[in-house]
Amino acid sequence: MTTPSDPHQELREGVRALCEHFPLEYFRKIDAERGYPQEFVAALTHSGWLAALIPQDYGGSGLGLTEASVIMEEINRSGGNSGVCHGQMYNMGTLLRHGSDAQKRAYLPRIASGELRLQSMGVTEPTAGSDTTKIKTFAERRGDRYIVNGQKVWISRIFHSDLMILLARTTPLAEVRKRSEGMSTFIVDLREAIGHGLTVRPIANMVNHETNELFFENLEVPAENLIGEEGKGFRYILDGLNAERALIAAECIGDGRWFIDKVTKYANDRIVFERPIGKNQGVQFPIARAHINIEAASLMRFEACRLFDNRQPCGAQANMAKLLASEASWEAANVCLQFHGGFGFASEYDVERKFRETRLYQVAPISTNMILAYTAEHVLGLPRSF
Predicted confidence (pLDDT) at residue 239 exceeds the cutoff of 90: no
Indicate the SS3 state at residue 120: strand
Q: Do residue 85 and residue 166 come from a single domain?
A: no
State residue 3's pLDDT score: 55
- C-alpha distance from residue 371 to each of 167, 287, 306, 311 (Å): 21, 26, 20, 21
- pTM of the full structure: 0.95
85, amino acid identity: C
Percent of the chain with pLDDT over 70: 99
Predicted confidence (pLDDT) at residue 1 exceeds the cutoff of 60: no
CB 19 within 8 A of CB 80: yes
Does an H or E element contain 74, and which?
Answer: helix 65-77
Q: Do residue 87 and residue 72 come from a single domain?
A: yes
pLDDT range class, residue 93, cuts 50, 70, 90: confident
Domain annotation covers residue 337: yes
State residue 21's pLDDT score: 98
**Other Cβ atoms closer than 10 A to 28:** 16
State residue 126's pLDDT score: 94
Does an H or E element contain 22, and which?
Answer: none
Predicted confidence (pLDDT) at residue 229 exceeds the cutoff of 70: yes
pLDDT range class, residue 114, cuts 50, 70, 90: very high
The residue out of 113, 142, 161 marking a domain boundary is 113
Predicted confidence (pLDDT) at residue 225 exceeds the cutoff of 90: yes
Residue 188's domain is classified under what CATH number? 2.40.110.10
Beta bridge partners of 141: 146
- C-alpha distance from residue 91 to each of 85, 255, 288 (Å): 11, 22, 35
Domain enclosing residue 283, as ranges: 235-379
- Whether residue 37 has a cis bond before it, omega within 30° of 0: no
Domain annotation covers residue 4: no
pLDDT range class, residue 4, cuts 50, 70, 90: low
Per residue in 46-64, pLDDT (tens digit) is 999 999 999 999 999 999 9
Residue 303's domain is classified under what CATH number? 1.20.140.10
Q: Do residue 102 and residue 86 come from a single domain?
A: yes
CB 215 within 8 A of CB 149: no
- C-alpha distance from residue 201 to each of 24, 158, 211, 291 (Å): 30, 10, 9, 40
Per residue in 127-175, pLDDT (tens digit) is 998 889 999 999 999 999 999 999 999 999 999 999 999 999 999 999 9
Domain annotation covers residue 158: yes
State residue 139's pLDDT score: 98
Beta strands 271-272 and 198-202, pairing class: unpaired
Angle at 2 between CA 304 and CA 351, to 5 degrees: 85
Provide the annotated active-site residues: 244
Q: How large is the average pLDDT for residues 238-261? A: 95
Q: Do residue 127 and residue 106 come from a single domain?
A: no
The residue out of 180, 196, 231 marking a domain boundary is 231
Percent of the chain with pLDDT over 90: 95
What mean pLDDT value characterizes the chain?
Answer: 96
The residue out of 70, 90, 113 marking a domain boundary is 113
